[in-house]
Structure 1
Amino acid sequence: MKLKDILLKLKEKFLRIDFHAVFERLQSNGKLLLMTVIATFVVMSLACLAVFSVNVKGPEQVLVPDVTGKKLTAALIEMQAKKLYPEIQLRYSETPGDEGTILEQNPSGGAIRKGFSHISLVVSRGVVIDHVENYIGENIDAVRMKLQTLFAGTAKPLIVIASPQYKADTAEAGTILEQDPPEGTSITDPVTVHFVVSRGPNFENTRVPDLLGNSVNDVLQQMARTRLVFDFTSHEAGPGENAGTVVREQTFEEELVPNYTHVAVEFAFPRQTLGGNVYGIFDAVLPAYPYSVQVKLAAKPEDGDAYTIVTFSHPGGAVTIPYAVPKGTDLILSVVSSAGETERKRITVR
């Protein structure tokens, strides 16, 4: 065999053996690489699962401290130590001197919550008013309404008005003349305020008007202009009497009489409706007032808008008012003050 042929055979054999080894080596390394990739994936999955578990578990649970009654600064320090977030709400309180104190909390002390939870704290912004104001010169009804509004919703108002003492004065009736304690008095506990209130001038007298022959409307106008208490009565008009007018009136020896003197006045009313109106006397009993109040009689027809029949001053007690209105009209008696109108009686004319 020639040398050339021998070399060719050796080369051919060498190459065949070498390629086979290389293939086996590659096959062995591929399995190792695959195992490495699988192992890496498993490790990463376990790591992700551990991180996820930690995040799901969240922060550890803590005991909510009871900070009710404590000052805000101390309460915030306790909340911070427990890794809790306070949410602050401000509210007026009823106790002088407790400004900045925790009034309420939610959840309450002793509850279990996760760290970084939100805790609601209601903090006192102090009392609505901390001193007695000057009420002299104001109307007592207006002051009452003001204080009621100021302390609305509180179980223990800080200012209470005692039963006023009334006296005659040139100031308008209901005006506060004196007060005790004086303006500027500090409020540390609920305070009872005593007022001296004007009854109005007691030296003024009134001229008694001549009402004989007057109609109901004429008499109503006189009621609005004078400070007298008219006690109205009526009877069915007889022969020679003008139906719907005054036929008798009390007389006095003196031309002038003291304010709110009672004057008896009698009407002769028609038996049936006259001019589409029903005639009558509206009567009611009011509380006895220390000074005169404004009294109003209003009418609300079945069809139409309400209107005022008369407004006049009255000291309280029995009230009588003549009327001439259509059948079915509602008559409403109210007492008018600076605080508004208070309905006292309502009837429907039949």
Structure 2
Amino acid sequence: MKYPAPRQKKQPPSWFTGFLAKVLPTKADDPETLLYKKISYVVVGMIFITSLLAFTVFVFSLRGREETMVPKVVGEDLITAIQDLQEKELVPHIQVQFSNSPKEKGTVVGQDPQGGILVKSGRQITLWVSKGAVIDKVPNYIGQNINDVELNLKSLFATQSQVLVTVENDPMYVYDNSPEGTILEQKPTPGTPISSNVTLKFVISRGPKSQLIKVGSYVGQDYLSVMSQLEAQSLPFEFTVRALERNELPGRVVAQDPAPTVGIPRGGVIHLTMTKPTVPAGQVFGLFKTTLPQYPILVDLKLEIKTAAGDVSTLVAMKHPGGAFSVPYLAAPGDTLILSILGKPILTQTVAP
């Protein structure tokens, strides 16, 4: 007698099978669920692909760029230098500047980093390219004041290692109706190309030969008032100081030479004698004395007082021919007296107690 085979129990689905049934689209899904699952898979797939691309870019970036040697391009023209850098996969960064020679215009005069150094490809290389000389032709200085021209040339070449244009040390001075210091003639002539160092030769006016100035009457006046008057007229002066005598007031001019109404040539020095002034507490009275070179024309002179705190005030500013120079002053101990000619300090003196 045969017995029927026992039934095998149907195994319940595993958790993984159940999970897939819920996540993956199946025929049993209704339309809304099916659409939702498809959209979810598209979004997840896009996120995965984006992450994979980002990871790939990150890995390649860690590998770094290849190294290349910087070519030496100093002395080359700009176009050639750029081509040389691009062949090495380097990026040129252009800076322009003046140079000492007009012939260097358009030429690379400097680079950073220097040639022969290994760098990563794509590195920025700075090139300094010459704009030529500050000036390439001799300007026209006729009619200008010699002092202004010299100051202009100094400022023009202040940042240059080589001064292309200078003024000869001993120009020719002649009497002329033009204002004193006016340039009448020049060599080389205006417009001459500058290919190397140039020394300018000038013929300069001394002013009219018969130019006389009448001396005023200064005796009895306060010395500061007299200094102000003479400064305004650019009449050079020299002070001496003596002690008070009977019936005299402190700080007054008691003698002068030349006498009032006498005619003196422009640049002639007026000698003045004054009495010692009343000195405020905490200050010192003195004479700033020096002897300057004799200048062929009047030059700009300035005497300043600089306090210990750094404040600067002008004591005298005038035209001066050079020679003996003596100016009274009131200042605090430790202050500094600064004498300048044509804007350049030439002498300093500290006020002693």
Name the TM-score, length of structure 2 as normaliser.
0.67
- Does the 8 A contact of 1:296 with 1:308 survive in 2? yes
Aligned to 1:100: 106
Aligned residue in 2 for 1:215:
222
2: CA distance, partners of 1:329 / 1:147: 36
2:132 — aligned with what? Answer: 126
1:38-81 Cα distance to aligned partner (Å, 9 max, x none): xxxxxxxxxxx999987755565444333322222223333333
Q: For 2:160, give the aligned amino acid.
A: T
Q: Name structure 1 gaps, 5 residues minimum.
A: 17-48
How far apart are the structure 2 equivalents of 1:251 and 1:147? 39
- Is 1:176 paired with 2:183? yes
1:111 — aligned with what? 117
* Partner residue, 1:136: 142
1:171 counterpart letter in structure 2 = S
CA contact (8 A) 1:104 1:121 kept: yes
Q: Which residue number in structure 2 is paired with residue 232 of structure 1?
A: 239
1:293 equivalent to 2:299? Answer yes
Q: Following the alignment from structure 2 to structure 1, what is the Cα–Cα distance between the partners of residues 262 and 89?
A: 88
Which shifted more, 207-216 or 181-190?
207-216
Matches within 5 A, 1:182-331: 182-224=189-231, 228-239=235-246, 241-250=248-257, 255-269=262-276, 273=278, 281-297=287-303, 308-322=314-328, 325=330
Q: Which protein has the larger Cα radius of gyration, Structure 1 or Structure 2?
A: 1
Please list the CA deviations of residues 196-247 of structure 1 after superposition, one character each: whole Å capped at 9, or x if unmatched. Answer: 2233333211223333433324533442355654443333233355554344
CA distance in 2, matches of 1:181, 1:328: 52
CA offset at residue 121 of structure 1?
2.9
- Give the whole-Å Cα distance in 2 for the aligned partners of 1:275 and 1:57: 79
CA shift at 1:187, angstroms?
1.6
CA–CA distance in 1 between the matches of 2:146 and 2:224? 34
Distance 1:61 1:129, change over 3 A: same
Kindly indicate whether the alpha-carbon contact (under 8 Å) linking 2:254 and 2:274 is maintained by their aligned counterparts in 1: yes
**Stretch deviating more after TM superposition (133-142 or 246-255):** 246-255
Change (3 A) 1:62 1:288: same
Identity %: 35
- Aligned residues: CA RMSD: 4.3
Output the CA distance in 2 between the equivalents of 1:223 and 1:51.
Answer: 82
**What secondary structure sits across from 2:213 in the alignment?**
strand
Cα distance change of structure 1 residues 117 and 342 upon mapping to structure 2, 3 Å threshold: closer
Q: Which amino acid in structure 1 is aligned with residue 197 of structure 2?
A: P
CA–CA distance in structure 2, aligned partners of residues 347 and 65 of structure 1: 56
Q: Which residue of 2 aligns with 1:40?
A: none
Q: Sort the Cα spacing of 1:313 and 1:128 in 2 relative to 1 into closer, same or farther, 3 A.
A: closer
Taking structure 1 as reference, are residues 60 and 138 closer, same or farther at Cα in structure 2, changes over 3 Å only?
Answer: same
The letter for the 1-side match of 2:264 is V
Q: Distance in 2 between matches of 1:76 and 1:224?
A: 60
User: Cα–Cα, structure 1 residues 331 and 223, in superposed 2: closer, same or farther, change >3 Å?
Assistant: farther
Contact 2:73–2:111 (8 Å) recurs in 1: yes
Q: One-letter code of the match for 1:201?
A: P
Which one-letter code corresponds to 1:179 in the other structure?
A: Q
Residue identity matched to 1:135: Y
58-67 or 178-187: bigger deviation: 58-67
Partner of 1:348: 351
